[in-house]
Chain A
Amino acid sequence: MELLPHDLIKLGAIKNLKEFERLAQWAKLSLVRAPWVVVRRGYQSAGMVPVGIRGNLRNERQSAMVSEQAIVGKVSPFDLVLNKMWLSVNSSRKTLPVFQALDAIAPIMRDFSWGIGGSCGYELVSGVPMAKVSSDLDIIVQNFPKVSVNEAQKLLSELNQYGVHIDLQVVEGQNGFSLEEYAHNRSQTILMKTEKGPQLVPDPWER
């Protein structure tokens, strides 16, 4: 099974996880409530996958390693868009800015292979109310063609007109960078997150 950063994976028998006992109390509660974790960037070796556990609070994030055998399901950010998962959110949640914005940006993103990450993606997959009024909308885009700084600015200003800050990450395999950083054009390098850790690169489209 190919697992990439931002993929959400479902764990079976969470209490059998090797590391379960050493997790923070909030992290144990989060897994008991919904056994979903997010794949983190980093080496996957000997069938072990680095993951992140998400709690209700912004600073409730814990990393862990899980064995591939413990995985019983996977949903990628792209699956959420292909299935238009935000349309089935219940009416009280639908009024949140992130869900409103998804409806509005879908036509703008039509020609891209895009997905949903962050708290919004987690909520769509797990059903746990995690998105907040103040949440950013994390958008993951793969096969993003090289664009000029002007084109990147234009796309981001179109996406950002719905009252939610769009955090658009361009990914290729494990690599990912912020389109906003590219659009700002403030420095001669871009921070690329990779399997081996972050790096500064002159051209994020050149590997």
Chain B
Amino acid sequence: MEKLTFSFKNTKPVQHPVHVGVVASGDLEVIFKPTTSKETTLHIVTGSDGFKEVWQNVLTRFFERYPLLADIEINDFGATPGVVNLRLTQAMEALNNEE
């Protein structure tokens, strides 16, 4: 079990909380909450230790395309980078649908 924290200087504030994904092996839960901060902060709890650099890469690539400003919590159960990227995409779609 490892706890990771990342922050990104993002610009596009989210207006609603969203929660996607599931507690299941090879998957993850992603929770976006609106924030008053000027930075996006991610708190990640992961069952797979030693992948900080992989997380950094997946998150950087995602936020370069979609600079969402939010407080983000992730509970990871050994998801692959492909699954992480799709869950982030799905959270973003859920935000767009509510607007």
Contact = CB atoms under 8 A, between A and B. Distances in A.
Decide whether A and B are members of one complex: yes
A197 B26 CA distance: 12
Interface in A94-138: 118, 136, 138
Given A59-B78, A186-B19, A199 B86 contact: yes
Nearest to B84: A198
Contact of B23 (A165, A191, A197): A165
B47 A191 contact: no
Interface in A168-207: 169, 178, 180-181, 184, 186-189, 191, 193, 197-200
Interface residues of B, number: 26
Contacts of B27: 178, 191
Interface residues of A, number: 23
B44 to A, nearest CB: 14
Interface stretch (B34-42, B58-66, B90-98): B90-98
B24 A191 contact: no
Contacts, number: 63
A197 B22 contact: no
Contact of A191 (B49, B78, B86, B97): B86
A188 B21 contact: no
A167 B78 CA distance: 14
B47 A59 contact: yes
A22 interface: no
Contacts of A169: 24
A200 B22 CA distance: 14
B83 A167 contact: no
A58 interface: yes
Interface of A: 58-59, 61, 118, 136, 138, 165, 167, 169, 178, 180-181, 184, 186-189, 191, 193, 197-200
Interface of B: 18-27, 47-50, 78, 80, 82-83, 86-87, 89-91, 93-94, 97
6 contacts: A58-B47, A167-B23, A181-B21, A187-B90, A193-B26, A200-B86
